[in-house]
Amino acid sequence: MDNNKTLALLGLQWGDEGKGKIIDYLAQKFDVIARYQGGPNAGHTVYWQDFHFAFHQVPSGILNPKTVCIIGRGCVVDLGVLKEELEQLTQAEIDFKNRLFIDSKAHLILPYHKALDNAREKAKGKDKIGTTIRGIGPCYEDKYSRIGIRFGDLQDDEVFLEKLKRNLAQKNFLLMELHNDEPLSEKQIGKEFIKYAEFFKDMIIDGSDYINTAYEQGKKILFEGAQGTLLDIDSGTYPFVTSSSPTAGGVCNGIGIGPTRIDDLIGVAKAYTTRVGMGPFPTELFDDTGLMLQKQGSEFGATTGRARRCGWFDAPLVRYTARINGIKQLALTKLDVLDRFENIYIGIGYRYKDEKTNNFNVELTGELKPEFLKMEGWRCSTKTAKSFDDLPKPARKYLDKIQELTNCEISILSIGEQRDQTIISPNFKW
Ligand code: GDP
Ligand code: IMO
Ligand code: MG
């Protein structure tokens, strides 16, 4: 473990597990932090001094002055959102010069991607996915149709404008003829992006080369996942998923490294479950307990402000997501949100039709009726605990049960949104 140089950190539920907070904490131990997929659909919250950031594009390690942050080739980038984020960092006097880079192969989100995302969601009516309307799906579609525009294309105005012209003709046709929407102006988009080209010109790199070189130099590198495993395009609750691969498998292509260069993995899970957007969610609570989780956990989206759906911890679900990622260690977050509950429940299995099963099956998610184990609450604050031993006995029992049912060890425990409200297990060697 001591020789490890890279750690991939990713979500094990439906996103918003608290990845941003854990990455900000871990950034102190890493030289480089690189996002490998997703785009401004992510909202990674970090509290720091009097500031509160919701990072959509910028890797969550940027607050550590020594950490280099990279937006990898597997990401999609909205330069407008990124520019706003950089302005917030400047206001907070965070210097990101020579510390933030974008892979030339990362695809750009253009205004027509957002317009199409919006139009398609509207057209789907009650069957909508509940996307963030950030243009994610349409942008990845263009990437895979091999007509996407990449960050590197901005290096030559003519190349960019030519690609824009070709794409916009098709997109405006779709917007007008299929969706009865207004066309977008080529001139306006062209002007906007030529300005971005100038603003971002010093941030372009070959991310794969940068990371492989850093690895060979013995630097410590953290790969930052966005979203969560159940939103993965292949492994998630399709079609209610995003358009990228937040799983460990996504790291290699999203960064441009080989699998032998992922030395260690950690999965982030909340001490309960949430989901934002549509789609099945077996342990969801529709009663006052669900509302209490939402209130105690301030469960409102960092990107769209939407209320997050809440339910109890689903152990077979996390066992499944940990397994398909090859994860053996957890960062469990938001334990403190359960401080006031008299009883706490863990989903331990399901009924599927008339049969009982202990295993999660992603194909059947919508038909699984959860079975719960009732556990005693601790009804006192865990927010100031400094070690696992400081925790009340029922809380330790709850954590033991989670470890047993998920086949994972809890290496990091988060008991508040602040950086220092973090407990590290002696077995976590980073
Ligand atoms: P991410 O997308 O995985 O980075 O998670 P989000 O930032 O979208 O959502 C997590 C929310 O929980 C944020 O508001 C965090 O500030 C907050 N948070 C993270 N860890 C903890 C914790 O241990 N306790 C509490 N109470 N809040 C936390
Ligand atoms: P972080 O990184 C939670 C959800 C959306 C929707 C579905 C598809 O903060 O954990 P998209 O805009 O990607 O096409 O939407 O995925 N979603 C997220 N939910 N956290 C996220 O990111 C999410 N990113 C996308 O709500 O259901
Ligand atoms: Mg989030």
Which domains are assigned to the chain?
Answer: 6-105+204-266 (3.40.440.10), 107-200 (1.10.300.10), 269-424 (3.90.170.10)
Regarding the beta carbon of 135 and ligand 2, being less than 6 Å apart is answered: no
Instruction: Tell me the mean pLDDT in the region 338-353.
Output: 97
Q: Residue 1: pLDDT above 70?
A: no
pLDDT, position 50: 86
Instruction: Tell me the mean pLDDT in the region 168-181.
Output: 97
pLDDT, position 296: 96
pLDDT 10s digits, 234-260: 999 999 999 999 999 999 999 999 999
- C-alpha distance from residue 217 to each of 175, 205, 210, 220 (Å): 49, 18, 11, 9
Instruction: Specify the DSSP element, H or E, that contains 169.
Output: helix 157-173
Instruction: Tell me the mean pLDDT in the region 92-114.
Output: 97
Mapping DSSP to helix (H, G, I), strand (E, B) and coil, where does residue 153 land?
A: helix
The phi and psi torsions of 177 (rounded to 5 degrees) equal: -80, -35
pLDDT, position 2: 59
Question: What atom of ligand 1 comes closest to residue 54's alpha carbon?
Answer: 7
44 noted as active-site residue: yes
Instruction: Tell me the mean pLDDT in the region 96-107.
Output: 97
DSSP structure string for 185-232: PHHHHHHHHHHHHHHTGGGEE-HHHHHHHHHHTT--EEEEP-S-GGG-
- Phi-psi category of residue 277: left, alpha or beta, with phi > 0 → left and psi -120 to 50 → alpha: left
pLDDT 10s digits, 51-74: 899 999 999 999 999 999 999 999
Q: How many CA atoms, within 13 angstroms, populate the side-chain half-sphere of residue 337?
A: 28
Check 31, 44, 113, 314 and give the catalytic one: 44
pTM for the full predicted model = 0.97
What amino acid is encoded at 59 in this protein? P
Instruction: Tell me the mean pLDDT in the region 26-51.
Output: 95
Where does the pLDDT of residue 305 fall: very low under 50, low under 70, confident under 90, or very high at 90 and above?
A: confident
Question: Which ligand is closest to the CA of 138, given by its number?
Answer: 2
Distance 45 CA to ligand 1 centre (A): 6
CA dist., res. 314 & res. 416, Å (int):
21
CA dist., res. 342 & res. 333, Å (int):
19
Name the average pLDDT for the chain.
97
Percent of the chain at pLDDT > 70 equals 100
Where does the pLDDT of residue 232 fall: very low under 50, low under 70, confident under 90, or very high at 90 and above?
A: very high
